């Protein structure tokens, strides 16, 4: 077991370290995107936008809501939407990079194995697998985190569509009656 830990540590100094560094950068991209998404989401889902609620329910929502108190203009909302979409696109694209980084690490580790055939191939092969492993793990983690953002972004886009095209909302409401 000590040999396996040693191989992991040795590889962490190499290409696996690059994958780890990219994963840390993606954590910050996720947090940035989440903040931008929540700013728009909480505006559209603020308690003052809810109707037909009892005073007790409104008080409870007010106590627990994380809502910006400032009313936003349409231009501010459009700017926040642009920032949110730009940040999400960066995060989403950065996330899809991890399997590729893992594959690249595998290829980089397999190339020297050609010269090692019949000697210490086990260590080099394991090194190739660790890069693939960490790239896939990072992709899975960030894809999971993506699920926390995507529904809010979809909801924000729906609200923006209604805000920019008020006639569409009225037509949809009349079609539902």
Other beta carbons within 10 Å of 78 = 15
Distance of CA 59 to the CA centre of its chain: 32
Q: Is the pLDDT of residue 93 over 70?
A: yes
Q: Cα–Cα distance between 78 and 110 in angstroms, integer?
A: 49
pLDDT (0 to 100) of residue 23: 92
- The structure tokens listed for 108 are 């980089």
pLDDT (0 to 100) of residue 59: 66
pLDDT (0 to 100) of residue 28: 95
Render pLDDT for 2-61 as a digit per residue (tens, 0 to 9).
887 887 788 788 788 888 999 999 999 999 999 998 888 877 776 555 555 567 766 665
- Buried b / exposed e over 141-152, threshold 16 CB at 10 Å, is bbeebbeebeeb
Identify the DSSP state of 68.
-
Q: Is 51 helix (H, G, I), strand (E, B) or coil?
A: coil
First vs last C-alpha separation in the chain: 67
Give the model's confidence band at 131: pLDDT under 50 very low, under 70 low, under 90 confident, else very high.
confident
Alpha helix positions (H), the chain: 2-13, 15-44, 55-64, 74-95, 97-110, 113-116, 121-164, 166-176
- The structure tokens listed for 76 are 């501010």
Mean pLDDT, residues 102-114 taken together: 78
pLDDT (0 to 100) of residue 29: 93
Render pLDDT for 134-176 as a digit per residue (tens, 0 to 9).
888 888 888 888 877 887 888 888 888 888 887 776 666 667 6
Are 37 and 149 within 8 A, CB to CB? Answer: yes
pTM of structure: 0.64
Mean pLDDT, residues 113-131 taken together: 70
């Amino acid at each position: 077991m000590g040999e396996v830990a040693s191989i992991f540590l040795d590889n962490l100094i190499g290409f696996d370290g690059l994958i780890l560094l990219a994963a840390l950068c993606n954590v910050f991209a996720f947090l940035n995107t989440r903040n931008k998404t929540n700013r728009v989401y909480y505006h559209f889902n603020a308690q003052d936008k809810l109707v037909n609620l009892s005073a007790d329910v409104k008080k409870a929502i007010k106590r627990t809501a994380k809502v910006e108190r400032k009313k936003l203009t349409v231009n501010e909302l459009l700017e926040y939407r642009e920032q949110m979409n730009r940040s999400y696109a960066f995060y989403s694209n950065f996330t899809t990079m991890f399997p590729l980084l893992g594959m690249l690490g595998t290829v980089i580790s397999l190339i020297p194995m050609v010269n090692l055939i019949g000697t210490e191939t086990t260590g080099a092969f394991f090194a190739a697998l660790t890069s693939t492993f960490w790239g896939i793990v990072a992709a899975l983690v960030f894809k999971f985190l993506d699920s926390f953002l995507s529904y809010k972004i979809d909801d924000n886009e729906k609200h923006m569509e209604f805000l920019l095209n008020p006639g569409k909302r009225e037509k949809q409401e009349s079609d539902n009656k």
